[in-house]
Structure 1
Amino acid sequence: MNTRTYACRGLILAVLLQLAGLSPTLAADLPKKQMSLMEDETGTRFKQVWATSKVIPLNRRYAELDEAEKTALQSMYEDMKPGDEPPFPADGLLPVFNAIKKGMEAYSARGELDLLVDVDSQGRATHVSAHGKVDPDMAKFAARVLMATSFKPAVCSGQPCKMQYLFQINFAMR
């Protein structure tokens, strides 16, 4: 096989929204950087934070990240060379998080879950392995969500390539 696969280190990603046809003149129209996802209704006057990111804005796709954010993301991969890019969910993480949230509620999931996704050079998930301490049915549910997710393929030496993508989530009461 002549494509490279990078081993992933810890990576916590959050929700990004697609802005089709983004041009430099439209960059100013992007919403402010959103660093947490709030649950709409919690039965109280307060919204519950259920997804956060300290590195990646929740409302950006990979192409919409600034250079510092891309560098921070790339630094979480071993041997990531300048110009190379990791795979990333093609429609952003909003659909992924929303689907996994439904499973979290159905399974009353608690604990940490790491999902390692093999993404081919066309951006298709080919395999997902789950590691963590959550209900096995929740892990299978989350793996199915990621198998159904289309990805922006990784880029190695200027060409689309196979690479792994790590999705980490901590199911906790806040």
Structure 2
Amino acid sequence: MRLVPGQSSNDLFLECRSDAFHLEVRDTYAVPSESAEFRRFLDGEPETVDYAIRPWVQLMREVAARGVTVRRVRVVTVPHSDYQRWLLSITGSNVAAGEDIRYVQRNAAGAITPDDWWLFDDVRVAFNLVDQDGRPAGMAVTDDPGIAKYCRDVRDRLWQFATPYVDYIAGVHTRQ
């Protein structure tokens, strides 16, 4: 495995040719650039950021425009953590940029790794690294065929029954 610092991880998306898939398994993240807006959400204050112009959304728009399929499954605990509730409120920008984001409840996910990872073009896996406080700390990247196969199998299994964001969010609002 090779370590890729956080600022270099965009290169993995720029090198991707056909498909990028992300498995998210954490109920909360400690992303420094999100802390102020997350706090505003918790305090019931209005958003001050246009999520459609965040660097991540712009990168996803660029990647999707090149014809790369970007998919994501979020494995979530219900009831949702505060962080997941906040993500649900802003994910529409990601979807509008070209990401296909779907949800699976944790109790239905079966055996999965405790780590988030990206699978690029079915052959390269990048594990999201976090420090002891849960802050992003880069990625550990491998082209190991066995690890890639495992990730493809998990992706294919979860994708079959994952609920698309639009349907999931409609169900969340219906239950409230």
What is the TM-score with the length of structure 2 in the denominator? 0.31
What is the TM-score with the length of structure 1 in the denominator? 0.31
Task: Report the structure, 1 or 2, having the larger helix content.
Answer: 2
